[in-house]
Amino acid sequence: MKYLFGILLLFIATGVYAQQHEKPQEKPLVQFTGMVYNADSIRVAVPYVTITNISQHNQVYISNYEGYFSFVAHERDTLLFTSIGFAPTRMVIPVNVTNKSYIAEVRIKPQIINLPTFRVFPWATTDEFRKDFLSMKLADDDLEIARKNLERATSTAAFNSLPRDGQEIQTGWAQTEHLNLMNQHSLTPNPLLNPIAWGSLIKQISDGDKSRAANSGN
């Protein structure tokens, strides 16, 4: 009786050990095919998306430039879709797939990441910055530019150098015609009969002779 009881315990222990070390059943294979689209658009594909099979030791696949992909996976596998400028998206292949083929449209959402401001300065030390800052010539502001443009010297230089436009020519011609119209019935004085003009001419000649004599004496 003791031997029979011992043999029964041996069979029970062997069965339990076999159940504990039984190889887990492998999940069915599936041909996973699909397209990756932008979630914010209707039919805009996202090219070169990285597809990571997290359930199978992080196996990596990449879609083509049209967002198309096709590879072998398993039912209940978790897949991670990542691409620069888009938020990571996860999906799980369902069970009991018909004909061992699963087709899906994967939509990933654009993601905007605000990076911190990075500034590059050309100065190695604060002393170099201070030296360049003190020797820096600041550009004139709008008020200073307006003040310089309104100076008499600037206006005179612009008047003497800039060509006359059509409006100025027309204004000058109109003034001349107006004077001619006003003086058409009056006598025009002859400058040769004007004693004041003769006096001014004699004075200019005398001043010119004096300046020439002073220059020759030197």
31-83: per-residue pLDDT in tens? 999 999 999 988 899 999 999 999 999 999 999 999 999 999 999 999 999 99
Burial class (CB in 10 A: 0-12, 13-18, 19+), 71: middle
Least confident range from 3-17, 18-32, 129-143, 196-210: namely 3-17
Can you say how many angstroms the Cα of residue 105 is from the centroid of all Cα atoms in its chain?
Answer: 33
The residue extents of the domains of the chain are: 29-108
pLDDT at 57: 92
Predicted local distance difference test score (pLDDT) of residue 33: 96
Note the Cα 127 to chain centre separation in Å: 33
105-113 average pLDDT score: 92
Is the pLDDT assigned to residue 3 strictly greater than 60?
no
Which three-class secondary structure state does DSSP give residue 62?
Answer: strand
Helices (H), the chain: 2-20, 126-134, 142-149, 152-161, 166-182, 195-217
pTM of the model: 0.46
Q: Which residue has the higher pLDDT, 180 or 17?
A: 180
CATH number of 29-108: 2.60.40.1120
What integer pLDDT is reported at residue 2 of this predicted model? 54
pLDDT, mean of residues 172-177: 86
